[in-house]
Amino acid sequence: MCDRYVPPQFICIGLSITNMYLNLLQQWVVVEFMDTNECKAIPTLWLSSSKEECRFPPESISARELLFNIKACMPANEGWPQYKIRHFSQSVTGDYSVAIQLELDAVDTSDVDAGRPLGRGRRKKKPIIFESDEDDGTKILAPTKRSRIVHCISDDSSPERCERQISRESPPKFIPTPRASQREPSILRSADVDISPAEESSLVKKKDLSQKSILEYLEKIEKSQQEIMKEIIDIKKCISQSRVEESDQYFDFKFPITSEEDFDSLEVHLRDKRFQGALTKELVRRGGNNLTSGVFGMMYHIFTDDVGRLFSYLGNSKTGIKKRQFSTTLTCGCIFDAFRLKQTLATYSHKDVKEKIIDWLRHANSRHQRNEKKSEKHAML
């Protein structure tokens, strides 16, 4: 047998690290589509390498499927249309509810700036002017803190925006129109955040270092997984070799037994628990599905009638001839064990099996004599 031991903690190490790595990729960012000036929170996986374009599902998919793809951060399909966008670099978040709030802030903000964080404190609000009577011609400004109803009635609020503010958890379906024209990359870059060359190089270095560390960590995990798989393969080989040795040890013994000396040798071999288990499994296979076929099939497999007539279950004989006791042998114990292991025979009691064994041993001598007469007739012919 193999003495090697594999700790169970290493079996699921690959899955746990993979899940941790996938959690790092679940991030959302708010983008503005250049052709329609609409804002939407999308997974960062949908952005291109230049952060100036993104993939977005077509109009053929349902609103429920669109919401699922965004909320689950599903990878973008190459067949999806591509749009020119401007992403808000400071709106990247790992919380979907925060991304929805930033999306609503971007929609409500009149002057969207990609270089500063989004928030309700940054939005520009136009005061509502109520005109008085025509005689005096005075104008009164409304309070700066407007309720949601007043905000919905004001001229600078559309019904769609009002609906989004009332129901923030379930935003309406958003499908941007395909881009009609291509804008120059220089124009798009000028709209982004102004970053100095030194800061840009430091950000690139940090990004490269983080990606490199993740790759190195994954390589170490892959090596450890390979080592674990080698250990598992070696253990399986050891187990298979031990099973082959047990089966070879069993099948080296010839059945059925044709002499009393071979039966004594079988009893010596059955002192080994592995050999005893192998014989029990073979008797399970040899036995039938009822009481008679089960006992008779096992007994005929173990020895012939010539050897069986030398035994009785308790060692007694009506003819006065002394016989060997079969009930105290290890072979008899294997028969009872086989009945307990086989599902179709497990319902029979110990007494039922005992009576069938007695019946087989009682008629072993008469069967042997009939077989001898048949063989003599065949010899004369």
Q: Count other C-beta atoms under 10 Å from residue 90's C-beta.
A: 17
Tell me the per-residue pLDDT of 11-53, one tens digit each, with 9 for 90 and over.
556 556 655 555 666 889 999 999 888 899 999 989 998 889 9
pLDDT mean over 271-291: 91
Residue with token string 């290890």 = 330
Compute the mean pLDDT over every residue in the chain, rounded to the nearest whole number.
75
Could you tell me where the DSSP H helices lie in 252-289?
Answer: 260-269, 273-286
Nearest to 325 by CA among 336, 335, 314: 314
SS3 56: coil
Helices (H) and strands (E) in the chain, counts: 14, 8
Strands 129-131 and 139-141: antiparallel
CB atoms within 10 A of CB 281: 17
pLDDT tens by residue, 206-228: 666 677 778 888 888 887 888 88
Report yes or no: 78 and 57 within 8 Å, Cβ to Cβ. no
Segment 128-142 shows an average pLDDT of 46
Q: What digits encode the pLDDT tens for the residues 342-371?
A: 999 999 999 999 999 999 999 999 999 999
- Token output for 232: 């598992």
